[in-house]
A and B are shown apart, each in its own frame.
Chain A
Amino acid sequence: MRALRGMAVALFCWRWWALAALLELALALPPALLWQQWMGGALGSRYEPGELFANLSTEFRFDHRSELGALNANASLWLGFAALAAMLLGVFFAGGWAQLAFDGEEGKIVARAGHGARHFFWRYVRVWLVTLVLLALWSWTLFDWPWKKLVLDWLLRLPDATGDRLEALTSEWSAVAVRSAQALVYAIGVALLLVCADYARLRIASKDSRSALAGWIGATGFLLRSPLRALGPILPIFVLEVALLAAASGFARRCEGRISADEAGLFAVALLAATTVVLAFLRCWLRGAKYFAAGEVVREGTQDER
């Protein structure tokens, strides 16, 4: 129910999540424009119109491999900086969601959210930094010494080797199982850390406290004490997001299939672009819904503590 309420309330705050989505799309535009510009030049008068529409041939990719390498390097570099910008935007918009979740007012969405975004910004930056440190610790646990010692050495008793240690296992499926388990545990850990970070932000907002560390510790304690209460409102929203992505993926695959079979043209491309845009908006909406749903839990928890 909290999840549904969260989604409903967030829906009315469409200006805020629409703004978030627009800014994300704006950050994603430069690499696309780079590609557009480069490709226009590369095709020029050298390729028959439409020849490469359905499939970017091996011949084209190889003849332009140096330029494509440079293009990808530039795009990748931009994305790296854009990733930082996206994270800081995430911090900013999270402050807005927190404000909307707790101030008990109505109307003037952008003004209120903007106030909250500014008010909580540096505190949430500190939360973000703590999150990164904890992610690094978790990554080390699953990929470095603890994994190698506890799992590969003690549990599986694999001999040391210069290459892939999992080759000492008797079957490929065993190796797949080990790697899959590692990936699954890692993903769950990352997800829980990010949930914890959400609750840390909400606790800071509800108490108007300044300490990111205290927020984190409180959130972790809460998650450990009442995991179902903490995860309950968030899981349905996550499941809905997965369903949306699955639907979008299915639709995109069909469009792609028609394009690559030379059965569809620019209209299919327009549909794909529309899917990207709609998906961005919907996912930002669901992010806001998560804050409202989890905010209810935090509000109740704060009242309990009083």
Chain B
Amino acid sequence: MGSVHRRKGRISLGLLVALACAGSAVGQTKVEEPFRPEYVIGVRVDPNEKKLQGDLHLSWTNQSKDDVFDLWFHLYWNAFANNRSTHLVESKGDLRGTKISDEWGWQQLTALRVNQGDSLGKLEWMAPDDGNAQDRSVFRVKLAEPLRQGQSVTVDLSWEARIPRVRRRTGQKDDFLFMAQWFPKLGVYETGNGWNCHQFHANTEFFADYGTYDVTIDLPARYAGKIGASGVELLPEKTDGERVRAHFLAPSLADRELKGADGRAPLVHDFAWTADPRYVKYEEVFRWQDWAKRFESEVSSTALALGRGTSEVAGRDVRVSVLLHPDHADQGARHFDATCTSLFFYGLWWGTYPYEQVTVVDPAWGGGAAAGMEYPTLFTAGSRVLSLPTMRTPESVTVHECGHQFWYGLVGNNEFEAGWLDEGFNTFSQSEAMYRRYGQNPLTSEYGPMPFDAARQLEPAGGGIADWFALRTGPALLGTSWTPLRSSALIDFWREQPLATFARMRDDPRDGDRNGYLADPDSDPVDRPGWLYADSRSYRTNSYRRTGTMLRTLCGLVGKEKFESAMRLYSERWRYRHPYADDFFSAFQEGAGIDLKWFFDAAFRSEATIDWSVEVSQRRAPADEGWFPGPDGKWQKSEAAKEKGAEPGWLPELMLRRRGELCLPLPVELTFEGGEREMLVWTRESQLRQAWWKPLAERPPSAKKLVSVVIDPAQRYWCDLDLSNNRWYAESDRRTPLRWSERVLAQAAVVLHWFGGIGG
């Protein structure tokens, strides 16, 4: 019986037994072999008519022990057919920031044969998630006979499509074509659970099985030499006057012969392609050894963590093709360098990139909705003209999307039900890679297209009624607002003089993960299907930033070596497979050799948060007053009891507090006068018993003054909601307020001089 399930969690008996043994590593989870659908697709596109016609031949073998009774497919473009689709209802018509007011798209099967039998009449629309009868993004076809284990089925179908305007990752804009989710795609069959084939939601991405693709693309001749796709081109393009045909294989033939250390050959789970007559190609080869020499210490420390030699962690060279639009033709090297950053660091940490080629696509102007998205061996970046290298555009998005080649591309989580397993893992990896390659990010201000390495402190004058005085608003008459002065690049620049009045500020890219997490720290647990989060903000926070923050915290908890070793075990075991949360948790615990269920439950399966704080007051220990028993037992006045020359010591009162339930063993560093340091640890058990701790309560007066107390001095944990209360210093800072208020004075003075000029 075919059915769609919602996965709640899968724990093997072996794992349960292993977890029952306190502190012991868990048993290995049995993983399924990929089902390996083999796609052979021919597609013809007529961009002038916005028409696509395709023929698809699919071979699929049932690797499971279940009898399979039907086949389920995605038709993603039908989400753009009308405003009643689940996707548009959930997104309220907003597709990645633009409204779909025109340029709808759809897909329609024109022929369907299963094992040679005509099955078009057996096609049935399905809405397994919300029952929306008007949503046609999923269909199934029943098989004439159940498919048993080891048996294969072939599907031949033809379809036509109306190409949508690029609004949600896919479509056309003028001659620019970006074709993603463009063919009828088989769902994923899961043993014991049936077909996993969700509708296309606003807050989810995609899920398909690992297999192979053989795709022939037929386009008008003006696209000759300007076609890019997943995989590699099998033969040179063929042009016959008016049309050009390109033939791609993913993975390439050479890659299919290469088996990894685990004996598995590379596969891919999707195929995307692009074409634009205006593309400018930039091609170079990523050479592993060059980067290994540059980051020698990184290679050594990873090899050490994994218990391997440096040659064993080496990656392969990869051909990088960047397809740029003329506006960004001068940015080829930057795209290439950022791609190499990902290929190197991710390959070093999570296992080598196994394919010979990767294609980077710079979307066309007006096609930005296709930007920042990943497909196997091809991804889209996104840039702008006049981008300073310090702006990290296109670097940041390129590192991120190339990073998805690993998380999601090689370790193929279900992006519907567990999007955080790729987005969050990639967010974490991206910040770490960016920090190592590019360091801190400068904050920039923009005036029109011109960016400046300068950060404002004062917001533009106005606010409320003061907007009137600052000429930022005016009376509304005849349907328009008569504002004396509008925001405009040259006027704003002249008014603010940023180079003279703004400060230079820098950000650590890893802090961005924590900041994103703080935007919505407790609406939902991380481990939740994408469409079930409270809203899109919760989806983004949990899938990306909160997961990234928790992984960084996990690294701090277990130590870098154990973390790398455990993550590597997970990424290697689940390469070309579809893990879920429990698969990650068990693999990690096995790799680290530590029972961490308590952490995973708190960090990923609850809304638990934490805010530690420190409060300190300090005074001189009081001198003795009154009468005290002397050595002979008789009462003596305190002066007689006082030792000559002794000074009263210091009595520091230190209280550590916990707010929230995400308790982690907490190091606290005390520094005394003269530089002496002491490290305390507020244990997890103690935190669970009580929300505060006074570690110095029973100590006698100290001869030395306490000068600072710092919680988590090595910043192992990044999940604290408020880091401003984590430290105490005996000395206050009087200089820093002067430094920053000077910039405020400068900004205000220049702005007011401008207004003075308007008066006279």
Contact = CB atoms under 8 A, between A and B. Distances in A.
Interface string A12-51: 0000000010001101110111111101101111111111
A172 B278 CA distance: 13
A58 B511 contact: yes
Given A32-B742, A58-B507, A275-B500, A76 B459 contact: yes
A86 B465 CA distance: 16
Given A32-B741, A94-B759, A131-B758, A276 B486 contact: no
Interface string A246-269: 001110110011011000011001
Interchain residue pairs A-B with the least CB separation, the first 8 = A80-B466, A94-B760, A90-B759, A79-B461, A87-B759, A249-B499, A84-B469, A28-B748
Interface of B: 97-99, 101, 174, 325-328, 365-366, 368, 384-386, 448-449, 457-472, 474, 480, 482-486, 488-491, 494, 497, 499-501, 503-508, 511-512, 514-515, 518, 616, 708, 722-725, 727-746, 748-753, 755-760
A211 interface: no
Interface stretch (A102-110, A141-149, A212-220, A293-301): A141-149
B746 A276 contact: yes
A51 B723 CA distance: 14
B739 to A, nearest CB: 5
Contacts of B497: 245, 249
Nearest to B167: A163
A256 B453 CA distance: 11
B745 A28 contact: yes
A139 B482 CA distance: 8
Contacts of A51: 733, 736
28 contacts: A24-B749, A28-B745, A32-B741, A36-B741, A45-B730, A59-B514, A72-B457, A72-B458, A80-B472, A83-B470, A84-B755, A90-B756, A90-B757, A97-B760, A135-B758, A136-B482, A139-B484, A167-B368, A169-B365, A179-B448, A180-B448, A180-B449, A187-B491, A197-B760, A198-B760, A266-B738, A276-B745, A279-B750
Given A33-B741, A40-B734, A265-B735, A45 B729 contact: yes
B758 A58 contact: no
Given A50-B735, A59-B511, A144-B480, A252 B466 contact: no
Given A81-B469, A265-B735, 6 more contacts: A39-B737, A50-B733, A79-B470, A137-B482, A273-B742, A276-B750
Nearest to A134: B484
A28 B752 contact: yes
Of B480, B505, B749, the most chain A CB neighbours within 10 A belong to B749
A169 B174 CA distance: 10
Contact of A287 (B507, B616, B757): B757
Contacts of B459: 72-73, 75-76
A182 B466 CA distance: 27
Given A39-B737, A79-B748, A88-B759, A162 B101 contact: yes
Contacts of B480: 140, 144-145
Contact of A49 (B461, B518, B735): B735
B147 to A, nearest CB: 47
A53 B735 contact: yes
A283 interface: yes
Interface stretch (A2-10, A60-68, A224-232): A60-68
Report the interface size class on chain A.
Answer: 35 or more
Nearest to B749: A28
A41 B66 CA distance: 67
Q: Which of B465, B469, B507, B616 has its CB near the most chain A CB atoms (within 10 A)?
A: B469
Nearest to A265: B735
A203 interface: no
Contact of B758 (A36, A90, A143, A256): A90
A282 to B, nearest CB: 11
Interface of A: 20, 24-25, 27-29, 31-37, 39-40, 42-53, 55-60, 62-64, 72-73, 75-84, 86-95, 97, 124, 128, 131-133, 135-137, 139-140, 142-145, 161-163, 167-176, 179-180, 182-184, 186-187, 190, 194, 197-198, 201, 245, 248-250, 252-253, 256-257, 259-260, 265-266, 269, 272-273, 275-276, 279-280, 283-284, 287
A179 B489 CA distance: 9
Nearest to A73: B463
A142 B325 CA distance: 30
A187 B753 contact: no
A207 B748 CA distance: 36
Contact of B486 (A89, A124, A186, A198): A186
Contacts of A89: 756, 759
Contact of A190 (B461, B491, B749, B759): B491
Given A46-B727, A257-B504, A171 B756 contact: no
A81 B751 CA distance: 12
Given A35-B737, A76-B458, A48 B756 contact: no
A28 B749 CA distance: 5
A76 B483 contact: no
A97 B760 CA distance: 10
Contacts of A132: 471, 484, 758
A186 B744 CA distance: 28
A195 B731 CA distance: 54
Given A140-B480, A179-B448, A64 B724 contact: yes
A122 B448 CA distance: 37
A252 B757 contact: no
Contacts of A42: 724
B469 A276 contact: no
